Structure 1
């Protein structure tokens, strides 16, 4: 019987010293495994999609580098339902489902958390992209799906050029909800700050910046990562945002920017399988392990 399994993507299960990306994933996951073991927990690392695994041999599952879940959502969704009946999930299944759909931004806004203004276009909306854009009054916009990852179908455009994306928008909105946001210009010069909130408290932060002539900060698109010393204002903002989430949050990555009014604003809260950049601050893995150990101890009482 294991206390906890650290979940990964099958492509990353085996180590490969010749591949820097896989080596970095192992470095991150091993920091977590070592921290869990220092808490006296019997921990193992597993592929979430391995059909041979009997998950009832684990008390808890920790989502870490399960980065294929979105591309395999037809498998992941029923698997999530099954395993949530067998063991504790961190983060919990209800939170994962809430966080997958960016409609959660509206919930945060309703709780007085400052988020980037967002206009949702629901599945089957008959309006053209030009009509939706005109209704927002925004001059420069970002278009993306409400359920997405890794900047899938993310487009930046001027309102006057909406017609360039009209066809792809019409195709997408027939099948899924979309959202529009005003483009936030600070991302070009200052990037996006990610604050890691572990067990309710900020542990550390990094800054992600886009490559030249791009706006996407993800490293998949050439963005880069830098250490960042979070200000008291940023830490308080991130912790308050996580506190507004209507679930128990073991870990979160809070992605924030200065909006076009120069106020801190949420771009996204990542609580499914976010990269938490433990390599920049290994002590955060111990903060995570301590919170997990406390929850498992409390559950056993």
Structure 2
């Protein structure tokens, strides 16, 4: 059977576990997408991206949704992505995925006039110590994280004077991958982080993520919580402009942003590979996604 769309997940998320809140949430979100695609007249199924038994030529397109193990298995994911992109359409496209994988894209966005959280990119194999890099930054409270990552993997918050305690960790990480250094945004502790969903070029809905008491990570895996957010006109215009600055066609994006100390909006991350899009807060957004995908399949847009 030829499927119009295969909705991609990872093997851990395939089976529905009624006693697991996380599984219920994942399947609700993916279910909304599957239903919207069917309502748009498309034939669909849901598979793990590493399903060795499926012939990807039997899919017109692949939609990345909950492939949340890709950064842990990047050595397998990268060649699979190359093969899959030669056999069918990807949403978002492989070129965009490759661009978005490495957070060096933040520097490119800044060069196009999009305000970002200040970021120092540290190349793999950097010989300077973390203390030297921190001293050169002038920042007093910092975040260190990999350039290719997700779900706060190897994300560390520390004071400049405590860089020494992370030297061994930093040395091991930078030997294997590029890293990012950023000033810690204390507003996250009080105001959280905003996420604006932009689907098919238009703002859809927004949420606010807040960390649990005593932590700085907003992901629900670490006890963070999610709340609906009524985005202002300024926030919507900022998010849509950030997506327009991307040098590729963007079917869906989650724009993570904060306000800096001066109250200005700034991009934390622009997630366009497999972001959680919080459809449960606005199920109609899944229909917006399905309509945009169907139009692209029909007109052959890149």
Q: TM-score, normalised by structure 2?
A: 0.97
Distance 2:71 2:133 in 1: 27
Tell me by how many angstroms 1:139 deviates. Answer: 1.2
Distance 1:296 1:287 in 2: 14
Of residues 109-118 and 126-135 in structure 1, the stretch that sits farther from structure 2 once superposed is 126-135
Distance 1:211 1:20 in 2: 18
Query: Is the contact between residue 97 and residue 272 of structure 2 (CA under 8 Å) also seen in structure 1?
Result: yes
Q: Secondary structure at the match of 1:116?
A: coil
Tell me by how many angstroms 1:111 deviates. Answer: 0.5
Residues 37-59 of structure 1 deviation map (CA, whole Å, 9 limit, x = unaligned): 11111111111111000011111
Residues 166-210 of structure 1 deviation map (CA, whole Å, 9 limit, x = unaligned): 121122112211111111111010000000110011100100000
Q: Secondary structure at the match of 2:15?
A: coil
1:262 pairs with 2:268 = no
Structure 2 counterpart of 1:193: 194
Structure 2 counterpart of 1:98: 99
Distance 1:146 1:173 in 2: 10
Distance 2:78 2:204 in 1: 30
Structure 1 counterpart of 2:126: 125
Structure 1 counterpart of 2:56: 55
1:43 pairs with 2:44 = yes
Q: Secondary structure at the match of 1:85?
A: helix
Of residues 106-115 and 143-152 in structure 1, the stretch that sits farther from structure 2 once superposed is 143-152
Where in structure 2 are the equivalents of 1:1-301 lying within 5 Å?
1-299=2-300
Q: Secondary structure at the match of 1:44?
A: strand
Residues 224-279 of structure 1 deviation map (CA, whole Å, 9 limit, x = unaligned): 10111111111100000000001111000000001122210000011110000001
Query: Is the contact between residue 258 and residue 266 of structure 2 (CA under 8 Å) also seen in structure 1?
Result: yes
Where does structure 2 lack aligned partners over 5 or more consecutive residues? none
Query: Is the contact between residue 211 and residue 224 of structure 2 (CA under 8 Å) also seen in structure 1?
Result: yes
Distance 1:19 1:222 in 2: 15
Residues 18-55 of structure 1 deviation map (CA, whole Å, 9 limit, x = unaligned): 22211111111111111111111111111111100001
Q: Secondary structure at the match of 2:256?
A: strand
Distance 1:284 1:42 in 2: 19
Of residues 110-119 and 20-29 in structure 1, the stretch that sits farther from structure 2 once superposed is 20-29
Distance 1:198 1:103 in 2: 23
Distance 1:58 1:97 in 2: 21
CA RMSD of aligned residues (A): 1.0
Q: Secondary structure at the match of 2:197?
A: strand
Residues 145-181 of structure 1 deviation map (CA, whole Å, 9 limit, x = unaligned): 1111111111111112211111211221122111111
Tell me by how many angstroms 1:115 deviates. Answer: 0.2
Distance 2:214 2:265 in 1: 24
4+ runs of 1 displaced by more than 3 Å? none
Q: TM-score, normalised by structure 1?
A: 0.98
Residues 81-102 of structure 1 deviation map (CA, whole Å, 9 limit, x = unaligned): 0110110000001111111111
Task: Kindly tell me the number of residue pairs found equivalent between the two proteins.
Answer: 300
Distance 2:261 2:160 in 1: 17
Of residues 124-133 and 11-20 in structure 1, the stretch that sits farther from structure 2 once superposed is 11-20
Q: Secondary structure at the match of 2:255?
A: strand
